[in-house]
Structure 1
């Protein structure tokens, strides 16, 4: 993959449905195993263990992906979602509203149902998730004065999957976004974070999009400096090189907020 002339996440050329279906739901089986199945295993373990509890969650993940919410919706009655463009809001709501053009997430729902020991419960899993989603907030990445996050109620958990890789241009952006997105998180609450490590770019169709390259040491330092204590960390190695994305590893971190910064 050539990394010249990469576009930004919010660029008009990014087709969110194509992005999600290529990288997370309908693409090469080996890629889906890494980008969806392995993270779902980690999320299932986190939530089913009782480590992360509460009633209200804030969730924001790359591309309007639904699968991270399947595990969470069993344990959180209210899930509030942040999206970043009109297109991503539309893509997310198409699934919530069971629209004809929605991405099919039944494979993910079936996969989690198998993990939970109830192979026939996947349709109930989808409806449980739709019911738990109480609203979608749009946060404008291009508006430096956006205050949308202020309107979100206090939450017990912030869940994010691959998001900070793609919305941050600099390491300072990463630090600021972690602080901003966890501002509504209660003291004692948890941040559940899945990131790609050492990634520089990804492809959707004929377009390439840039990412912020971060490593494990940097992420841990940011969380610590933002008032968190890391209580769980799992590195998920990649198994196959491909021309869609170039991350080296993926990491799942659970961090508890112990103070405001």
Structure 2
């Protein structure tokens, strides 16, 4: 399908809840391995190693994902969440408020609790994440002077999981949005970045949406241009081809902001 007729996540057809439950919460078991299990295991290993630490984190993940925060909230006292659509902000807040309309994140909460050696503690794991989250903000992709982009204190770590797969349409978008997202990161702080490589589309709720196809070389160049030093990189091949998205592998990068 030509790129020009694919929809973007800012279109009115984009449904945050359906997107999350298709791709991360209730999806196909093979697909969930890539979208949810792989990031959860890698984050658990990273945080428990002691390589990345601090007090304040900025998190921004595709569609308002909650699952990355189950590991992070054990290590960071304050977490600020930045999303790029009203739908994602609103749906994330539904989970914070324990609304019946919220996506069920019990599966990744149980997964992380098991990795931490407390399989029965998943409900407390969810509450731990809720307590750590201080604000949920929207950055408007159409407003480069969004006040919310500076309503966040300087942070020790930025975590983003698949967000850039859905918000970027050009390489210039990618660099611009990465610069914004990391603008509050302290020198010496860490960027934790997950990306589905070479993905041109994903689908949800009966619609196909665009994704900017990037490979690891392009991503590394942008991070280098923004003065990040690569500390760690892993590329995990896709479990199998899937109709909901055409990525080839998952990239996990840990980069440190240089002077």
TM range (shorter): over 0.9
Shift of 1:144: 3.3
- The reply to whether residue 29 of structure 1 matches residue 29 of structure 2 is yes
**In structure 1, C-alpha distance between the alignment counterparts of 2:17 and 2:181, rounded to whole Å:** 24
Q: How many residues align?
A: 259
Q: TM-score, normalised by structure 1?
A: 0.96
**In structure 1, C-alpha distance between the alignment counterparts of 2:136 and 2:162, rounded to whole Å:** 18
Shift of 1:85: 2.0
Shift of 1:148: 2.1
CA contact (8 A) 1:3 1:208 kept: no
Deviations, residues 99-134 of structure 1 (Å, cap 9, x unaligned): 111111000000111111111111110000000000
* Structure 2 unmatched ranges of 5 or more: none
Residue in 1 aligned with 2:59?
59
- The reply to whether residue 171 of structure 1 matches residue 174 of structure 2 is no
* Structure 1 unmatched ranges of 5 or more: none
Report SS of the residue matched to 2:145: coil
- The reply to whether residue 96 of structure 1 matches residue 119 of structure 2 is no
Alignment map for 1:64-213 (pairs within 5 Å):
64-213=64-213
**In structure 1, C-alpha distance between the alignment counterparts of 2:212 and 2:166, rounded to whole Å:** 6
Deviations, residues 68-115 of structure 1 (Å, cap 9, x unaligned): 111100000100001122211110011111111111100000011111
RMSD: 1.2
Report SS of the residue matched to 1:17: helix
Residue in 1 aligned with 2:5?
5
**In structure 1, C-alpha distance between the alignment counterparts of 2:47 and 2:13, rounded to whole Å:** 35
CA contact (8 A) 1:91 1:102 kept: yes
**In structure 1, C-alpha distance between the alignment counterparts of 2:239 and 2:12, rounded to whole Å:** 32
Report SS of the residue matched to 1:199: coil
CA contact (8 A) 2:33 2:239 kept: no
Deviations, residues 37-86 of structure 1 (Å, cap 9, x unaligned): 01111111111111111100000010000001111000001000011222
Shift of 1:33: 1.0
Residue in 2 aligned with 1:253?
253
CA contact (8 A) 2:154 2:184 kept: yes
Report SS of the residue matched to 2:43: helix
Report SS of the residue matched to 2:231: strand
Report SS of the residue matched to 1:11: coil
- The reply to whether residue 17 of structure 1 matches residue 17 of structure 2 is yes
**In structure 1, C-alpha distance between the alignment counterparts of 2:121 and 2:60, rounded to whole Å:** 25
